[in-house]
Amino acid sequence: MEFKFGGSETNQKTVLGHPSGLFVLFFTEMWERFSYYGMRALLVLFLVSAIFDEGGWGWERADALVLYAWYTGLVYVTPIFGGLIADKIMGYRRAVVLGALLMTLGHASMALEVISDPFFYLGLGLLIVGNGLFKPNISSMVGQLYKTQGKEKDAGYTIFYMGINAGAFLGILLCGYIGEKVGWHYGFGLAGIFMFFGMLQFYFAQKIFGRIGLSPKGTKDFDAIEDSVEEAQEAIEDTMDEAKRSKVTRDRLIVIGVLAFFTIFFWWAFEQAGGSMTIFAKDYTDRVLVDNGALIFKIFNTLLTVVPMLIITWVLGLLFKQTFAKYSLSNILLGTSFVIIWGIVIWMLARQFADPTPEVPASWFGILNSFFIIAFAPLFSKLWESKYNPTGPVKFAIGLILLGLGFGILAYGSLGIPLGAKTASVSMIFLILAYLFHTLGELCVSPVGLSYVSKLAPIKLVGLMFGVWFVSNFIANLAAGFTGSYIDPIVEEYGMTTFFLIFTLVPVTAGIVMLILNRTLLRMMHGIR
C-alpha cells in the first residue's frame, strides 16, 4: 500500500487535511519560538533596567543594544553550520533534539543570572548554538512530509508559519509580563520550561516520521540511496557546467544578490523592534491606563490572548484524536504544557483585571507583530493570487516603503520630546500604528524573498544562495543593534524625531530605488515570476 504522505502509517491520519506529523512539528516549533521571542522581549529591558529598583543590570542603552546586535545576528549564522551538520552527520531529528536541549539549558543558565553573571553569557551562547541546530532542520522535515511540490506543501508551510507566530505571540506576552512584573529570571526560566516540553513531545513522537530526518547512514538502504544521489549529482554537474556559463543563470544569481542586498535595509530597520523601539516603549511611552482606557485594554488584551489559545487548544485536541493511541506519552507531555500555559494565562488576566490602573508592560507591544500577521496574512495571500498581484521587486519596494512610513509615524509622535530627554509620555497609538505598518511591510518582503531564492537559483546552488540570504540577515541584525546603540547621542543632539527619521528615509529611499530597478530585474529573471 502506497502512502499519500511521507513517514509512518500513523502519519497518514490527517488533521485539517494535513499529515499528523505536521502538527507534531507545529507544536515543537511553537514552543521553540515561544522561548526565543520570550527571551528576546526581555533581553534589552533586563540589561537597561536599574539594578536596585528594577532588578536589572543597569547597563547603558548603547551597550545593551550592541549585545542585542551580536545575539540576533549570530542566530542567523549558526543555522548554516547546523544544516550542514545535520546533512552530513546526525540527520535532522537528532539535530532538532540536540538543539532543543541546548536551548533549554541556555534558558536555565540565564535564569541563574541571579547567582552569577557568567551564567547569563553562557546561556546566550547555548541559545545561539542550539538555534543553529534546531531552526533549519525542523523546517526541512516539514517539506519531506509531502510527496508533491504543489499547493498542499505550500499550505503545510503556511500552517507551520502560523505555529511560529503563535509561539512568538505567547512568548512575548507571558515571558514579557512575568519578567517585568515578577522577576527577570522567572521570565528567562519560563521560556526554557516550554522549550523543554517541546523537545520531549517531539522526541517521544518522532517515530511518526518513519525514516524522515534520520541520519543517512542510519537507514537500511543507505548504499542504494548514496549511489542514486551520486548519480544524480553527476548528472546535475554535467548539465550545470554549461548552465553556469550562461547569461540566464548569471542574471538570475545577480537578481538574488540584489534582493539580498535590499533585504538588509528592511531587517536593519525592522529589528529595531527588540532594541530601540523597546526602549521607546519603556521610557518614552505612556503605558499607565485609567478609567475607560484601562477597561478597553483589559477587554482587548483578554480577547487577544484567549481567542488564539482556544484555537490552538482545539487543534491540539484534533492531534490527540489521531495520535494518542500510538504516542500517548508525547500527547500527555504536550497536554501538560497547555495546562500550565492556560494556568499562567488565567493568572495574568485575573491580575490585570484586579488592578484599577494597569501599566502595560513595555514588552507587550511586541505581540502586535504576530497578531497583525495572523490577521492580515490571509488578505495578502488572496491579493497575491489575484490579478492585482505585483511583481517581486514591487512587493519588496512596497514593503520597504510601508516600513519607513511606520517609523515616520514614530517620528511624528516624538515631536514633543525635548532634546536629550530620558523619559516622556507619548501616546501608545503611535507604537501600535508603527507595528501595524511594519507588519504589513514584512508580509510583502519576508515570504517573497525566500520564494524567489528557491525559484531563481540553479538546483546545485540553492543551498549556497540560502546561505547568502542568511548572511544578509546576519549583517542586517548586527547593523540594527549597532545603529540603535546611538539612540542617546542622537536624541541628545538632534532629538528623538531625527532618530526615527533615519529609519524612515533609508527604507523609503531603498524602496524607491527598487521600483526604478523593477523592469531591469524582471528582464534578468528571464521568465521567473
Dump pLDDT digits (tens) for 393-451: 999 999 999 999 999 999 999 999 999 888 999 999 999 999 999 999 998 888 777 77
Residue 259: what residue type? L
Among 153-157, 164-168, 377-381, 483-487, the range scoring the smallest mean pLDDT is 153-157
**Over 80: is that where the pLDDT of 483 sits?**
yes
Q: What is the pLDDT of residue 196?
A: 93
**Over 90: is that where the pLDDT of 147 sits?**
no
Helix pair angle (328-354, 20-48), 10° resolution: 40
> pLDDT of 501-511, one tens digit each?
999 999 999 99
Q: Classify residue 234 as exposed, middle or buried by CB count within 10 Å of its CB (0-12, 13-18, 19+).
A: exposed
Q: What is the pLDDT of residue 223?
A: 42
Cβ–Cβ < 8 Å for 342, 350: no
Cα–Cα distances in angstroms (integers) from residue 282 to residues 220, 362, 415, in the given order = 57, 5, 18
Residue 300: what residue type? F
What share of the chain has pLDDT > 70, as a percent? 93
Rounded to an integer, what is the distance from CA 366 to the centroid of its chain? 12
Average pLDDT of span 190-209: 92
Q: What is the CATH number of domain 12-215?
A: 1.20.1250.20
Other Cβ atoms within 10 Å of 30 Cβ, number: 26
Q: What is the pLDDT of residue 7?
A: 81
Place of cell 553562557: 122
Dist. CA 373–CA 376, nearest whole Å: 5
Q: What is the pLDDT of residue 293?
A: 86
Residue 156: all three cell numbers together: 503545510
Dist. CA 212–CA 206, nearest whole Å: 9
**Over 70: is that where the pLDDT of 126 sits?**
yes
Q: What is the pLDDT of residue 428?
A: 94
Rounded to an integer, what is the distance from CA 19 to the centroid of its chain? 24
Model confidence at 376, in pLDDT bands (50, 70, 90)? confident
Residue 36: all three cell numbers together: 526565543
Give me the phi and psi of 430, to 5 degrees please.
-70, -40
Of 415, 437, 425, 412, the C-alpha closest to 360 is 425
Q: What is the pLDDT of residue 222?
A: 39
Residue 271: what residue type? E
**Over 80: is that where the pLDDT of 239 sits?**
no
Average pLDDT of span 73-100: 88
Dist. CA 12–CA 25, nearest whole Å: 15
Return the exposure string of 333-349: e unless at least 16 CB atoms fall within 10 Å of the residue's CB, then b: bbbebbeebeebbeebe
Task: Enter the DSSP assignment of 146.
Answer: B
Cβ–Cβ < 8 Å for 141, 206: no
Q: What is the pLDDT of residue 224?
A: 41
Among 148-157, 270-279, 421-430, the range scoring the smallest mean pLDDT is 148-157
Angle (CA) 442 445 449, round 5°? 140
**Over 70: is that where the pLDDT of 231 sits?**
no
Torsion, Cα of 182, 74, 167, 165 (10° steps): 130
Of 210, 172, 311, 288, the C-alpha closest to 8 is 210
Task: Enter the DSSP assignment of 362.
Answer: G
> pLDDT of 293-350, one tens digit each?
899 999 999 998 999 899 999 999 999 999 999 999 999 999 999 999 999 999 999 9
Instruction: Report the chain's mean pLDDT, rounded to a whole number.
Output: 87
Name 143's Cβ contacts closer than 8 Å, sequence gap at least 6: 153, 157
> pLDDT of 20-58, one tens digit each?
999 999 999 999 999 999 988 899 999 999 887 778 899
Model confidence at 237, in pLDDT bands (50, 70, 90)? low
Same fold for the pair 12-215 and 240-287+362-529: yes
Average pLDDT of span 368-387: 83
Q: Which CATH superfamily is domain 240-287+362-529 in?
A: MFS general substrate transporter like domains (1.20.1250.20)
Other Cβ atoms within 10 Å of 235 Cβ, number: 10
Q: Classify residue 382 as exposed, middle or buried by CB count within 10 Å of its CB (0-12, 13-18, 19+).
A: exposed
Dist. CA 529–CA 522, nearest whole Å: 8
Where in the chain are the domains? 12-215, 240-287+362-529
